[in-house]
Structure 1
Amino acid sequence: MKERNQYREIEDFLADESFRLWMRSKKDLSGWEEWTLEHPKRAKLVEEARLWLLAMKVPDNNMSQEKLNAALQSTWMKIEKTEQESKMELKLIQLWSTAWVRKIAAVLVFGLLSVYVYNNYFASKTYYSSYDEIVNNLDEDGLLEQINNSNKPQIVTLSDGSSVLLQPKSKLSYPKIFTGNERNVYLSGEAFFEISKNPKKPFFVHANEIVTKVVGTSFRIKAYANQSNVEVLVRTGKVKVKSEKAIRNSSQEEIVLLPNQALRFTRKDQTFDKITDITMDKSISSSVKSIEQLSFEFTDIPVSQIFKTIEQAYSVEIDFPQQELEKCHLTTSLSDQPLPEKLKIICKSIGNNSSYTMNGNQITILSKGCN
């Protein structure tokens, strides 16, 4: 029997005796409930297998593959028989309804039903792809998820050295370690990204209906599930934006954004509006955060002042030996660098084996003073 982690088809579950026992008698002797909770992406298959068991009325004794196939075939024949009976009833109704009034009435009813079904089941879904849908449909396992339920931003450091400033009521899913030729993360809400440069491994942010592609740059994405628009604003570098639907259909050109440019995606109309000067858009200009306004170019500036700038930008707290670093001044450029890289550059410039540790939004600088 295959290891249950390798189950990919309904038949795999149906052929498992312990699974059938759990479904039929609710005796979970093999930890199926815990396994299902640990593998939420398989929950749909588990539910479908349960429905098959109910439809086939599978007995609790051992079932050979031949019996399993026969039971599946029998169920399919029942389904096909029901569909054939439904089609036959429809033909009889059509033969009976020959009067022109009934034909017109049927057309009107069909038209109204079509409009209702489209508006209620298709129209809304064509312009809305949720974060949960995208994440749950992924093949990769082991994604980490950071949810910010606090009232202030949280810093998230990725395995490649990139940093993400996650705003309240937002969540981010990302792999523990990036593998393959791409770096993919998934956002619902608002976050400011500073991406570590790696031209061979482009970085993709999937935010509901849109995908933002970068190599190394800083930008903000605002994509709350309950808001009508999705926005992308570039601070440094260049990004390319495309819709999830366009990627699947290999259509639509990528929209390129440069520094101080933005893009607004309207969910209802599925339209993109490129904004070449963010100062001319009141909605976007009023939402600019500290991290997007502060300068990280320092010329003979006290280290303590540099730390204050970082605290203000990232909503973090930095603990450092004030007496040892009191007379330390630095001239350095920290623009377009993720937070971990900024801290590395500062510690290297200070010297004397200076280093830092980071625990959430708390940063500790270890140093014996300047060179």
Structure 2
Amino acid sequence: MQKRNNYTELEDFLSDESFQSWVLHKIDNDGWEEWTLESRHRAKLVEDARLILLAMQIPGNQLSGSDIHRALQNTWLKIREKENQRAVKTVKVRFLRKRVLTGVAATLFICFLSSWFYSSYLKSDNKVTYNELIEDDNEGLVEQTNNTDKAQSITLSDGSSVLLQPDSKLSYPKIFTGNERKVYLSGEGFFEISKNPQKPFFVYANEIVTKVVGTSFRVKAYSDQSNVEILVRTGKVKVKSNDLVSKSDKEEIILLPNQALRFYRNNLKFDKITNITQDVVLTQSVGNIEQLSFEFNDIPVSQIFETIEQAYLVNIDYPKNKLSDCHLTTSLSDQPLTEKLKIVCKSIGNNTSFEMNGSQIIITSDGCN
């Protein structure tokens, strides 16, 4: 689909079968929506092509004679421009002309829908794309994309961990520098942030920014969804709209444990939810990592490892014979994955350590103290 990056004419889009499937049948296997939102420059061209294609499907008797007259005048102007620019595309222009004359002229449809298209669909003045956020950052970023059907665990250079859900991606510096830690999310991720009051952590997702020092929370911000959701598990977060968003009052919302926020992208409004149990959407989307308890009182280490495996969808390989009688009492509730492992290994003692390789964790130990 890289050829579409070179599209400069309406006919280019109208003759593209994938584009037709997206517009007419809502089939977006090639990511037309996200591709369109990546650039304001191409949005107008895509809009015109889309609305003309839709107009061709409207029965003629739904418009009055004056409507058709105005439509023909405007459409003929566009056709003449295209004929003057590229004579080689005469056949395609004639095809377009014939469809407009025998069916319904597109212009009235464009007049009525253009304002709706921009305000409800593209919102170019308000909506912020993942690519725009990345372009605004001068640092070299590492991008992790989850194209699998299960969550992936990512460990950042400061020890913070992110459980990245399917169809999501995260961009972050290989090493955090300066007095801030910034990451960029498209999709959904559960964050557990290492405490560092002198270096706050920021998650940029669509039109909002989440600021934390050390806490755990979930951000759900897909590009094709109409709102953004944030749910806090531990600690405190501050949420506000991105500076790239126009017409926003930049109000800052503070969220405490078991509180959530829903940000409506179309009207830039915040909805703070103090009792998440009464919100069906939020309760249905809570994952294992948010439900499991990490408070252990004289619990076998095997059960602790099993809980970590269920929460982070990782595999832990450890010497079962040497740790079979090992029980621990510890609290891991407000710790990223790497900190949890460090605490467990230190509690076991006897030269116990761990090594991470993607979703595989290897524990080496001489046994319990």
Q: TM-score, normalising length from structure 2?
A: 0.67
Q: How far off is 1:245 after superposition?
A: 3.6
Match of 1:150 in 2: 148
Which digits, 9 at most, give the CA deviation of each residue in 1:103-143, with x for residues without a partner? xxxxxxxxx99986654456611331111121123222x20
If you compute each CA radius of gyration, which structure gives the higher value, 1 or 2? 1
Match of 1:205 in 2: 203
- 1:184-263 counterparts in 2 under 5 A? 184-245=182-243, 251-263=249-261
Residue aligned with 1:295, SS: coil
Q: How far off is 1:229 after superposition?
A: 1.2
Q: How far off is 1:147 after superposition?
A: 0.3
User: Contact 1:301–1:329 (CA<8 Å) still a contact in 2?
Assistant: yes
User: Contact 1:246–1:252 (CA<8 Å) still a contact in 2?
Assistant: no
Which digits, 9 at most, give the CA deviation of each residue in 1:250-309, with x for residues without a partner? 943210000000000111121110000000100001110010011101000000000000
The amino acid across from 2:137 in the alignment is L
User: Contact 2:241–2:248 (CA<8 Å) still a contact in 1?
Assistant: no
User: Contact 1:300–1:331 (CA<8 Å) still a contact in 2?
Assistant: yes
Partners of 1:263 and 1:281 lie apart in 2 by: 11
Residue aligned with 2:123, SS: helix
Partners of 1:135 and 1:127 lie apart in 2 by: 17
Change (3 A) 1:265 1:230: same
The amino acid across from 1:186 in the alignment is Y
User: Contact 2:315–2:359 (CA<8 Å) still a contact in 1?
Assistant: yes
Change (3 A) 1:276 1:333: same
Change (3 A) 1:355 1:248: farther
Partners of 2:353 and 2:290 lie apart in 1 by: 26
Match of 1:282 in 2: 280
Partners of 2:167 and 2:216 lie apart in 1 by: 21
Which digits, 9 at most, give the CA deviation of each residue in 1:46-84, with x for residues without a partner? xxxxxxxxxxxxxxxxxxxxxxxxxxxxxxxxxxxxxxx
User: Contact 1:203–1:213 (CA<8 Å) still a contact in 2?
Assistant: yes
For structure 2, the residue ranges without an aligned partner over 5 or more in a row are: 1-38, 40-108
The amino acid across from 1:230 in the alignment is V
Task: List structure 1 runs of 4+ shifted beyond 3 angstroms.
Answer: 112-123, 245-251
User: Contact 2:172–2:183 (CA<8 Å) still a contact in 1?
Assistant: yes
1:178 equivalenced with 2:170 (yes/no): no
Partners of 1:250 and 1:116 lie apart in 2 by: 25
1:160 equivalenced with 2:158 (yes/no): yes
**Number of aligned pairs?**
261
Partners of 2:179 and 2:136 lie apart in 1 by: 20
Partners of 2:201 and 2:177 lie apart in 1 by: 12
Q: How far off is 1:173 after superposition?
A: 0.1
Change (3 A) 1:324 1:113: closer
Match of 2:130 in 1: 131
Partners of 1:121 and 1:269 lie apart in 2 by: 13
- 1:22-101 counterparts in 2 under 5 A? none
For structure 1, the residue ranges without an aligned partner over 5 or more in a row are: 1-43, 45-111
Q: How far off is 1:340 after superposition?
A: 0.1
The amino acid across from 2:276 in the alignment is I
Cα RMSD (Å) of the superposition?
2.1
Q: 1:337 pairs with 335, 338, 348, which one?
A: 335
Residue aligned with 2:179, SS: coil
User: Contact 2:232–2:259 (CA<8 Å) still a contact in 1?
Assistant: yes
Partners of 1:354 and 1:248 lie apart in 2 by: 53
Match of 1:80 in 2: none
Residue aligned with 2:342, SS: helix
Q: 2:267 pairs with 260, 266, 269, which one?
A: 269
Partners of 2:188 and 2:209 lie apart in 1 by: 14
User: Contact 2:171–2:185 (CA<8 Å) still a contact in 1?
Assistant: yes
Change (3 A) 1:115 1:137: farther
